[in-house]
Structure 1
Amino acid sequence: MTGGTVRAVSSNPEYAFTKPNRASVTLLAGLGVEGDVHAGETVKHRSRVAKDPTQPNLRQVHLIHEELFAEVAAEGFAVRPGDLGENITTAGVDLLALPTGTLLRLGADAVVEVTGLRNPCVQIDGFQDGLLKRMVHRDEDGGLVRKSGIMGVVRAGGVVRPGDPIAVELPAAPHRPLEKV
């Protein structure tokens, strides 16, 4: 699998659906995006904290592929980097096809290990009515398809900026397909 490019980076120190774009973000090993509300060793998403605040945080970094924005634009939706709460917007990497455990080398130093799929929630329709149906649907076989990006944990820290290269390192076979985390 070939690499791609970081298109945008975003973070927000407060709980909000969208995240403002930044000139750079700093990834911290074992924690996530410095200064982002979802950074930490244990879960930070409110619904997960309510169930069990001691769960490990497998959702330290949220990545979305820019190609999704063009797909939903063809259906009348306007989505820009950071709008869906992602930390890193990518181009040129088929994020949804990556297996669990893939390493994404971002820029000079940062490494994110892919842990699974983002499970889209009803807040997406609060952002733009009807968008949730484009982020999750059933395939021809009745299987659930989630398109709203992937989640990962930071294995090596570093600064990530728009324009940085992304190198993809697949784990040893057999590969495990992504599941929601």
Structure 2
Amino acid sequence: MSPARPAATATLRGSAVGALVAALAVAAHGIGGGGLPESAALTLLLVTCSGVGAVTAQLPARFHGPLALMGALGVGQAAGHFALTLTSHVHSVVPALPMLAAHAAATAICALLVANAERLYGPLVHVWRVVLRGAPQPVSAVTTAHVPARPANPVVALLRASISRRGPPVPV
């Protein structure tokens, strides 16, 4: 039995979830009072969000609804917050109420954005292909026969035809 074929938007969904989780985890973390991450925290966050995006892209087709996106983004926000708190941060692993509200709002907004992007993917790709392909142009059926120019002096034409172009060059 062969594995189920992934949806056409699976890569789009996984990439969008990974990128949005990373960007909005940093933004919600900063808005909630956590500050901007240092390089070690940012590296750990990017690895975590890449994993969340890859797992989201491989989900079966029955998990492609908006609730599944909310779940994937929620898990991603939690994993992103945890990745940001593993380094030298001044707050605890359990987020404060403003930070929790910022993470929740970011999760809901991102789920709506990704769901709409998935819904519009097919029509936008169709329009893009039509625009790039352009309207079909009719093929011209009129052909013109090539008539070589007749030399004014037939002797010159005979001499041109009799000159051999083969063989090595002769030194002069």
What TM-score, normalized to structure 2?
A: 0.26
Greater CA radius of gyration, 1 or 2?
Answer: 2
Structure (1/2) with the larger strand percentage: 1
- Which of structures 1 and 2 has the larger relative contact order (alpha carbons within 8 angstroms, sep 6+)? 1
